[in-house]
A and B are shown apart, each in its own frame.
Chain A
Amino acid sequence: MSGFFRFIDSSVGKKIVMALTGLFIILFLVEHLAGNLLLLLNDNGKIFEEYSAFMAGSLNIPVRIVEIGLFFFIIYHIVNGVRLWWGNRVARGFSYKVNDPSENSTFFSRFMIWGGTIVFIFLVIHLRTFFFPYRLGNPSNTMYEGAVEAFSNPYYSIFYIIALIFLAFHLVHGFQSAFQSLGIRYNKYTAIIKNFGIVFSILLCAGFALIPLYFLFNAGGN
């Protein structure tokens, strides 16, 4: 392996990769939320459909490039995360009979692989409901109608909201951890980064949760 690949595959480099891909996915989530909130406009999805047609346009080259990057980074983030988790499990070897990690670390910091796994399962189902039929298939209705239909199902909406809670768990640790992994930690910023990350994670996931909640209690959207 040459220098660069050895660097990103070292124990320090793997975390740098987790941080950069994670922050990229966070940026995507902000954009995704901003777009999806158009679903809540009381216009039967007119503006949302214009937005999604623009984002899905085959001539929208910058978005197509970023989309390929996004899929690559998501897969890299997952594979790298599983490799880190497995390597770290092996490093312990023999487990303690009595262990009390709640005294020295947060629940969120120890839950990353499990929160991540739940978010991954959510992602697969999410792509199956929206991305594959509406982007790659021949849909019989508009994406707006598809969203209304999917979220009118209380089980589907509740599953979404639960997955979003786990996403918030993942981000509460992930956001501040990304900065630490990149070496960005100076006493005067630590509290700001940590607190901003917590508020951001809650607001982001609450924003996404608004959409299933809206359609669940307002079936049909009008």
Chain B
Amino acid sequence: MNLHLKVWRQKNKNAKGKFVDYEAKDISTDTSFLEMLDVVNEELIKKGEEPIAFDHDCREGICGSCGMYINGRAHGPQVGAATCQLHMRSFKDGDTIVIEPWRAKAFPVIKDLVVDRSAFDRIMAAGGFISVNTGGAPDANALPIPKDVQESAIDAAACIGCGACVAACKNASSMLFVSAKVAHLARLPQGKPEREKRVMAMVAQMEEEGFGACTNTEACSAECPKEIPMDVIAQLRREYIRAFAKSEEKV
């Protein structure tokens, strides 16, 4: 199949970017979206042009790095998939595909389709951790956790931090990401010691980074490659209210 691409090209953080047209020729419907870009880049390199920069690593839907906005959707039209899991059979021969980087003030473009997602790292550093003693591996069943609790925690822990929630949200809010992390740890006994401090610190850092506020459009959950459910956001609100109610700070 042959495709017309309109790709956002931006030299560096401070440069003014623009859309550049490329032709992707003789693409197999079985190639992944990233492989299609590889083919286009091969051609660019042959012609002595600068290849399109995009983030990618595992190419099996678990690292969360291949973030790009494809025809108005985060990670393209496939539901519950990262860009690497999107295949060219989702498109028709002769289609025009517009490829843009994630757009959020907190995710500045570094180059072409690559954005700086270190804001997520700083949110995690603010509270997305537990304190445990290192040393020998603990006995497997020393801490009893019911299966349903464990499963709901793992559902939240499935978040890969790709930033599709921010990209798809009309408010560029990172609420789904932060909520997934807060819910994951709040649902397990290991997360309890820092429970109140964690939610306060992570929300404060999220605001500091310049992400928007959640207005419950649910776009994040619909576009999430790991299909993190909206109930984690409700849980973050409950955790936040609880932490405020329990805080020793003066009213």
Contacts and interface: CB of A to CB of B under 8 A. Distances in A.
A180 B216 contact: yes
A121 to B, nearest CB: 21
A130 B98 CA distance: 52
A10 interface: yes
Interface stretch (B65-73, B135-143, B187-195): B65-73
Given A3-B249, A88-B170, A88-B212, A110 B206 contact: no
Contacts of B34: none
Interface residues of A, number: 45
B247 interface: yes
B103 A96 contact: yes
A105 B173 CA distance: 14
A110 B235 CA distance: 23
Interface in B184-232: 203-204, 206-207, 210-219, 222-223, 230-231
A interface majority secondary structure:
helix
Contacts, number: 149
Interface string A77-111: 00000001001101111111111110111100110
Contact of B203 (A11, A173, A181): A11
A88 B215 contact: yes
A203 to B, nearest CB: 22
Contact of A101 (B98, B206, B215, B219): B219
A10 B237 contact: no
A12 interface: yes
Interface stretch (B54-62, B123-131, B238-246): B238-246
A185 B231 contact: yes
Interface residues of B, number: 51
Contacts of B98: 97-98
Contacts of B173: 11, 88, 91
A90 B73 CA distance: 20
B212 A87 contact: yes
A97 B212 contact: no
B169 to A, nearest CB: 9
A-B CB proximity, top 9 nearest: A100-B72, A91-B212, A88-B171, A185-B234, A183-B238, A183-B237, A104-B222, A11-B213, A88-B212
Given A3-B249, A180-B216, 15 more contacts: A4-B251, A10-B203, A11-B203, A11-B211, A15-B216, A88-B172, A91-B106, A92-B212, A93-B103, A97-B100, A105-B219, A110-B170, A180-B230, A180-B233, A180-B237
